Every structure is written in structure tokens, then in C-alpha cells.
């Protein structure tokens, strides 16, 4: 199959592109290589992909003409590209343009792909709101620009399924961790500062937050399992993550155990819109996709530390 992956040099997108290639598919990766986070990391990911024979193209989905020279014989689209996370440095316009306008432009391109079997939107547990412990039919209550615009992007994609213009689904991911995680995310920053002996900035009260910390390979298992299951997933929203909860404090302790160092904490003011609890309800994923994440938190942290030490 010929598969397009957007956000292909990002964290989860790069792992997915790699997995799809290993399964024998022809993979074309798109990324705009913006400077929201380390271009060094993005270029490292791009190098890994291109060395494996995956085509990586610099494209900005916000450009209405981004697909002028792209082939139209694509069979699957996996849409990871987005303005991620909750960041005080990102404006509403950043989220609006990268999550809504970009998705609309990609949908317009997808409708030109006559052999398209499925458009897979990558959503987020942030769509649920400050607590994300619900099944997929729960009313969304996003509490951040990120959650609001990702909900809108999800509905832009699913609208076309409801209109029977293309097959589409949306996968809502939960607290993904592992190698290639963005530098500002919790585990990469914990590992980096812990190895350097520097203090980790911890949002006040967040040590008690509960998270479904899910290893990236377990997430990718679920993402790629939609292939061949188009009739089951068309029009559906599906949660992907682990049912096992850990506090942020337990996450910090896991990193300390693996690196063999105590990490000093610098308590900083709370972050607006931060979720207090995420626990993936994956009953639907189990039923439709036979989804079964297995990697423990400690195993995931060990793999992430190994990757970090090997590359940085």
C-alpha cells in the first residue's frame, strides 16, 4: 500500500512511518520542520527514516497549494501533524492554523485520492477536558486551545465520513512516552536534567496528577491495526492508551531509578488547562482492533533513557 504520514519527523509520526515501512508499505512522510522544538531532533528522526528508504518531504499543510506535486494514488493517510501540547509560547492563531486550517487542506487533498481506503486522524485525550477517563461517546469538554482545535480538526475529518465522501476515523491518544519524545515533554526533560544534575521544573500540584503513560510502540500497534479494518473503524472515534494509571510523582521516581540519580524539583505555578487525570478507556479499541498495550512504565523509561544516552 502507498501511505502518507503527516508530521512524519515528529515523535509518534516517525515511529509510525518506520513501522509501516517495516510492514512492507511504501511510505511518504510530510513535515514542515518548524522550530517549535529542536530541529536537531527532527533532523535526527528524518535521517533515520530516509536511511530506511522512507521518502521525507518538507511540506507545510497550512499552504493551500502544499499538494500540487504530490501523487494522488495514496491508499492511507495518517495525520499526525499538529501544533501540540499546552504551551504559553503558542498563540491561538498557532493552534488554529496548524490544527484546523492544515487539517482542512489535507482533507481537500484526500478527496482527490480516488484509491484512498482510510483517512486516520490522530486526536488526543485533551479533547475530553481536565479529566480524560471516558468512553468515546462522552461529550467533549476541552479546556485548552489545543483541545478545542484538535476537536475541530477531528470533526472536519469525520464530517467527510458522515457525508460518505471518504472512509475516516479518529484515534485519541493518551500520554505517549518513549524514544524521540519532544524535548519539552516530561520524560525527556526529566532524563536530560537528571543526568545533568539540574532541577526539574514541576508545576505546583502536578505530582499528584494521574496519567495513562503509554509506551510509543504500544500506541503504534493500535494505530497501524486500522489497516484492513476500514469497515469496522469508518466513522469511529477510538481511544488508544494504557488502562494503567501512574502519578507524575511515580513517573519521576521511575526515571530516578533508571538513571540512578535523585532529581531536584523546582516548583513553579500551575499551568492553565493542564489535565488532572487521564485514564484510557480502551474497551472499544479492544473490541474493534484487538488492542492490548503491554509495556510497563519502568520498561518504557528504560528504553527512553537508552535512546537519550545514545543520541544526546
Q: Which pLDDT band, with edges at 50, 70 and 90, does 119 fall under? A: very high
Q: What pLDDT score does 113 carry?
A: 98
Residue-wise pLDDT tens digits, 167-196 = 999 999 999 999 999 999 999 999 999 999
Question: Can you tell me the distance from the alpha carbon of 13 to that of 122, in angstroms, rounded to the nearest whole number?
Answer: 10
Q: What pLDDT score does 223 carry?
A: 99
212 touches 249 (CB < 8 A): no
Q: To 5 degrees, how large is the angle CA 145–CA 247–CA 8? A: 50
Q: Which pLDDT band, with edges at 50, 70 and 90, does 276 fall under? A: confident
Question: Can you tell me the distance from the alpha carbon of 148 to that of 60, in angstroms, rounded to the nearest whole number?
Answer: 21
Residue-wise pLDDT tens digits, 24-41 = 999 999 999 999 988 999
CATH of 2-174+216-243+281-293, one of 3.40.190.10, 3.30.1360.40, 2.30.40.10, 3.40.50.720: 3.40.50.720
Interior/surface letters 268-287, b for 16+ CB within 10 angstroms, e for the rest: eeeeebebeebbbbbebbee
For residue 140, pLDDT beyond 80: yes
**Terminal-residue alpha carbon distance, the chain:** 35
CB count in 10 Å sphere of residue 147 = 26
Total residue length of the chain: 312
Q: What pLDDT score does 87 carry?
A: 73
262-268 average pLDDT score = 94
Domain ranges of the chain: 2-174+216-243+281-293
Q: What pLDDT score does 85 carry?
A: 81
176 touches 124 (CB < 8 A): no
pTM above 0.85, yes or no: yes
Could you tell me which residues come within 8 angstroms of residue 91 by beta carbon, excluding any fewer than 6 positions away? none
Q: Which pLDDT band, with edges at 50, 70 and 90, does 274 fall under? A: confident
Secondary structure (DSSP) of 38-94: -HHHHHHHHHHHHHTT-EEEE--TTSTTTTTTS-S--SEEEE-----S--TTS-HHH
| High-pLDDT (> 70) share of the chain, % | 100
Catalytic positions are 146
Q: Quickly tell me which residue has 533532523 as its cell.
A: 43
Residue-wise pLDDT tens digits, 67-110 = 999 999 999 999 999 998 877 778 999 999 999 999 999 999 99
Residue-wise pLDDT tens digits, 225-235 = 999 999 999 99
For residue 273, pLDDT beyond 80: no
Q: What pLDDT score does 259 carry?
A: 98
Amino acid at each position: 500500500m502507498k501511505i502518507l504520514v503527516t508530521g512524519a519527523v515528529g515523535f509518534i509520526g516517525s515511529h509510525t512511518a518506520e513501522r509501516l515501512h517495516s510492514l512492507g508499505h511504501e511510505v511518504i512522510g510530510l513535515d514542515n520542520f518548524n522550530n517549535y522544538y529542536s530541529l536537531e531532533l527532527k533532523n535526527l528522526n528524518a535521517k533515520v527514516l530516509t536511511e530506511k528508504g522512507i521518502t521525507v518531504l518538507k511540506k507545510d499543510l497550512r499552504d493551500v497549494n502544499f499538494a500540487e506535486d504530490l501523487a494522488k494514488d495514496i491508499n492511507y493517510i495518517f495525520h499526525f501533524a499538529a501544533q501540540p501540547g499546552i504551551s504559553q509560547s503558542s498563540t491561538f492563531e498557532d493552534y488554529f492554523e496548524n490544527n484546523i486550517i492544515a487539517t482542512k487542506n489535507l482533507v481537500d487533498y484526500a478527496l482527490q485520492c480516488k484509491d484512498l481506503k482510510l483517512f486516520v486522524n490522530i486526536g488526543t485525550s485533551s479533547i475530553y477536558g481536565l479529566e480524560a477517563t471516558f468512553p468515546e461517546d462522552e461529550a467533549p469538554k476541552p479546556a485548552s486551545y489545543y483541545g478545542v482545535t484538535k476537536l475541530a480538526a477531528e470533526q472536519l475529518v469525520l464530517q467527510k465520513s458522515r457525508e460518505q465522501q471518504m472512509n475516516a476515523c479518529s484515534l485519541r491518544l493518551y500520554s505517549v512516552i518513549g524514544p524521540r519524545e519532544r524535548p519539552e515533554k516530561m520524560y525527556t526533560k526529566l532524563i536530560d536534567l537528571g543526568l545533568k544534575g539540574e532541577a526539574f521544573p514541576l508545576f505546583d500540584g502536578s505530582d499528584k496528577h494521574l496519567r495513562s503513560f503509554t509506551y510509543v510502540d504500544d500506541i503504534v500497534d493500535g494505530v497501524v491495526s486500522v489497516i484492513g479494518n476500514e469497515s469496522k473503524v469508518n466513522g469511529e472515534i477510538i481511544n488508544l492508551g494504557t488502562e494503567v494509571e501512574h502519578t507524575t510523582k511515580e513517573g519521576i521516581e521511575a526515571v530516578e531509578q533508571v538513571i540512578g540519580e535523585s532529581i531536584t524539583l523546582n516548583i513553579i505555578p500551575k499551568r492553565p488547562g493542564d489535565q488532572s487525570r487521564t485514564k484510557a478507556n480502551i474497551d472499544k479499541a479492544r473490541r474493534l482492533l484487538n488492542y492490548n498495550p503491554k509495556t510497563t512504565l519502568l520498561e518504557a523509561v528504560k528504553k527512553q533513557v537508552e535512546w537519550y544516552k545514545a543520541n544526546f
